[in-house]
Amino acid sequence: MRFGAPLFESFTSPQEWAEIVVKRNYGAAYSPIGLGASDGEAIAYGKAAKDAGIVIAEQGAWGVNCLSTDVKERDKALAACIRGLELAELLGARCCVALSGSRAQKWDAPHKANFSRGALEDIASNVRKIIDAVDPKNTYYTLEPMPWTLPCDAKSELKLLEMIDRSAYAVHYDPVNMVYSPERYFDSGKFITDFVEELASFIRVVHLKDIMLLDAFVWQLHERVPGDGELDYDTLLTCISKLDPDLPVITEHLSCQEDYDKAEVFIRGRAKELGLEFVA
């Protein structure tokens, strides 16, 4: 496993970026460029990462809605995801990651039609178009799971793998994003074990955070700093440690460096107690 987290420090060159990542003892990192970056920038950052022994975990293609009912918006979203995959290929990133989209007006919002057969077929078709436009050799296209869009669990991920039918489609694993029932919340260890066993060979990146059920009616779940929630981290770390040694495990959605440092101490500490090792 390779640990990583977002950077709060500013940088002006690929070398400066790599030095910050190494100084923080991160073996993995988020992509340092946005979708507006040039091919040359992507290549330069990819080389800096390789020279420093850093694995770039993911190139994001966020904020676009490939399931929009507006044709122009959907086409714009597909173009953005194609560019994201192109950049991931040039960077040598583990994957390009996006959301499948939503039938709602907002790109990541809940909507009852997100689970329809039509949405599933559109997701598979969109991913095929994105992958076929780039034909990546060094990276993969992935969809981050969500509780109110597909994929949302192992079953829907397996179905998409079958329907998409492209070797360049892989799995982005975020267990917290798939905790949407009391069964999964109170027995997250079983849910984690089952998911990893079924999809082990397809997992390219893991997002690490935590989750807490509030003592409030009706059903309210909030994200937490790893270690401050109820996710079964011992099971999670044990399961993913059996995968690729270079698997990036990266924290997200925290507000400050102090929280990211706290998360790192907890994750590395639990791994050490379990006899597990990070490459970096």
CA distance 222 to 143: 22
- Going 153 to 218 to 103 to 78, the CA torsion angle's sign is negative
Q: 10 is written with which tokens? A: 């500013």
Per-residue pLDDT of the chain (280 residues; tens, 9 = 90+): 999 999 999 999 999 999 999 999 999 999 999 999 999 999 999 999 999 999 999 999 999 999 999 999 999 999 999 999 999 999 999 999 999 999 999 999 999 999 999 999 999 999 999 999 999 999 999 999 999 999 999 999 999 999 999 999 999 999 999 999 999 999 999 999 999 999 999 999 999 999 999 999 999 999 999 999 999 999 999 999 999 999 999 999 999 999 999 999 999 999 999 999 999 8
For the chain, the C-alpha Rg in angstroms (whole number) is: 18
Map out the domains of the chain as residue ranges: 2-273
Tell me which residue of 167, 175, 241, 238 sits closest to 202, measured CA to CA. 167
The torsion defined by the Cα of 35, 36, 40 and 43, in degrees rounded to 10, comes to -20
Q: 123 is written with which tokens? A: 């997701």
178 near 192, Cβ under 8 Å?
no
The domain defined by 2-273 folds into: TIM Barrel (3.20.20)
The percent of the chain in helix, strand and coil, each rounded to the nearest 5, is 45, 15, 40
- Going 255 to 259 to 261 to 264, the CA torsion angle's sign is negative
216: burial class by Cβ within 10 Å (0-12, 13-18, 19+)? exposed
Q: What are phi and psi of 240, to 5 degrees?
A: -75, -20
Helix (H) or strand (E) holding 277: none
278 residue type, one letter: F
